[in-house]
Amino acid sequence: MHIPDGYLGPPTYGSLWAAMLGIWSYAARKVQRELKETQLPHLAMASAFSFVAMIFAVPLPGGTTAHITGATLIAILLGPWTAVIAVSTALVIQALLFGDGGVTAIAANCFNIAFASSFAGYGAYRLIAAVNGRLRAGKEGEQHRFGLIVNTAGTAFASYVGINVAAVLTALELGIQPMIHGSQSSSYFPYGLTVTFPAVVIPHLTLVGALEAVVTAAVFTFLQKGRNTMTTRIGMALAMTVSLLLVQVPAASAHDYLIEQKGNDLLLLYGHGEQAMDFEASKVSKLKAVDAQGKDLAVQKEQRSKAMALKIAGQPAAVMAELDNGYWSKTIYGWKELPKRKASRVVEAVRSLYFTKTLLSWNATIQEASGGMRLEIAPMSDPFASKPGDQLSVKVLGSGKPLAGLEVIGFDHTKRGTTDKDGLIKVPISAGLNLITVEYKEKIKDDPDADALSMTATLTFEVKK
């Protein structure tokens, strides 16, 4: 949800800087008047809590990420103005030292997360607390316990409201850039509200909002039951939050582009089976199909849910596809689908290309068919004559030349070995669909958005059981 540099134009980020300067000034005076000296460690611990909470990214469909913030919880415990200062501090540190969020967008991110999210969540909590007040005030026994349950549920709901308010504002700020600067401008975020609202808000209404609610309720319950000082309890809550996030945030699963036969259909997929994900048709830069004599066949593509159907005129023996997966930058928080110039504090930036081939029959002509792919896995013998458990010799080629020392991956994402000096390796054959994958990087020059070209090749074929 952090907005990077270059996404917002001066009218947007300038207005938000002006707004946040006033908000920060008032918040500082408010906290100085109301926060006791003995409570200052609470402010520092709250900033640390928010910083830690925002470190853990949640993988989202399409390769993007989001994270929880802890803003509502801090507002409930220490007050919304204290939350503004605490969360703003965490956001500034992330932007300046770790490159998560742009420097020009600091005010925008602070407005959305530190200010709007804190006050929206705090307001929702106060409303629920007011309704629940009679159950909490001076009651013992079952009524009191029921009141605590309602109050804890209220913190969860309030945090859900808070993080989604921040998501809506982020989508709005990004989506109005084409209106302000023109839809053809490449200087700022190019997509309108019809794109930003589904892309940003829907994941927060579902996965991210639910995770924020669960973590907030768990930490709030822990703090209410603790008998230590508030500072000690917040410190312990930090450790608890890290543990919760490590358990609940799933690791991103590896995905490859591959061609797979399903019934009478040939499908181009991003991922296999239930792990298949949607992808943009524009990423497909080349499709090629040949028959058993090596003759080119016409290929038409039809976009489907989580797949692209390939309609081929004739009986194909081999089908190949090339995909340009765009620019990706590796930051301290993981990979982001951004060119190097759009990301901050980049560790590595690549342009990602995929080359995938499926075999449907075999002869000497098919063995030589490469479709001009820059990276290819070529069987040295007929894979369809193999039995499960046999070894198949394959050669890895880069621009037609053998590549030595490359790691070859099997269907279950386990290493099968490395290619020898001639680019050869033997891989075990399994019953059903076989998937062989290899990755190769080469340095590129004169591209300000990438340091290297990252190429991935896959080969698929099916062996009868």
Q: How confident is the model at residue 16 (pLDDT cuts 50, 70, 90)?
A: very high
Q: d(Cα 149, Cα 139) in Å, to the nearest integer? A: 14
pLDDT tens string 342-361:
776 677 899 999 999 999 99
One domain for residues 267 and 242: no
Check whether 235 has a pLDDT greater than 90: no
Torsional class of 315: left (φ above 0), alpha (ψ -120 to 50), beta (otherwise): beta
Choose one of 185, 220, 248: the last residue of a domain.
Answer: 248
The answer to whether residues 213 and 308 belong to one domain is: no
Specify if 5 maps to a domain: no
Provide the pairing of β-strand 348-359 with 452-463: parallel
The answer on 376 and 230 residing in a single domain is no
Dump pLDDT digits (tens) for 76-125: 988 999 999 999 999 999 888 877 778 899 999 999 999 999 999 999 99
Q: Which of 217, 248, 279 is where one domain is finished?
A: 248
CA angle at residue 319 from 316 to 325, to 5 degrees? 160
pLDDT band at 419 (very low <50, low <70, confident <90, very high): very high
Across 61-70, 110-119, 188-197, 392-401, least confident range:
61-70
In-domain check, residue 134: yes
Locate 197 and state its tokens.
């609202």
338/428 same-domain check:
yes
pLDDT digits (tens, 9 = 90+) for 304-328: 888 899 999 999 999 999 999 999 9
Last-in-domain residue among 248, 275, 290:
248
> Are 14 and 138 within one domain?
yes
Lowest-confidence pick of 86-95, 368-377, 408-417: 368-377
Q: How many domains does the chain have?
A: 2
Whole-angstrom Cα distance, residue 150 to residue 146?
6
Q: Which domain holds residue 34?
A: 10-248
Give 297's strand partners: 289
Question: Domain of 160: which CATH number?
Answer: 1.10.1760.20
- Let me know whether 315 and 378 are in one domain: yes
Q: What is the mean pLDDT of the segment spanning 274-300? A: 88
In SS3 terms, the chain reads as CCCCCCCCCHHHHHHHHHHHHHHHHHHHHHHHHHCCHHHHHHHHHHHHHHHHHHHCCEECCCCCEECCCCHHHHHHHHCHHHHHHHHHHHHHHHHHHHCCCCCCCHHHHHHHHHHHHHHHHHHHHHHHHHHHHHHHCCCCHHHHHHHHHHHHHHHHHHHHHHHHHHHHHHHHHHHCHHHHHCCCCCCCCCCCHHHHHHHHHHHHHHHHHHHHHHHHHHHHHHHHHCCCCHHHHHHHHHHHHHHHHHHHCCCCCCCCEEEEEECCEEEEEECCHHHCECCCHHHEEEEEEECCCCCEECEEEEEECCEEEEEECCCCCEEEEEEEEEEEEEECCEEECCCHHHCCCCCEEEEEEEEEEEECCCCHHHHHCCCCCCEEEEECCCHHHCCCCCEEEEEEEECCEECCCCEEECCCCCEEEECCCCCEEEEECCCEEEEEEEEEEEECCCCCCCCEEEEEEEEEEEECC
* Pairwise CA distance, residues 366 & 385, whole Å: 15
Going from the C-alpha of 82 to that of each of 118, 119, 190, 241, 383, the distances in angstroms are 9, 11, 35, 20, 66
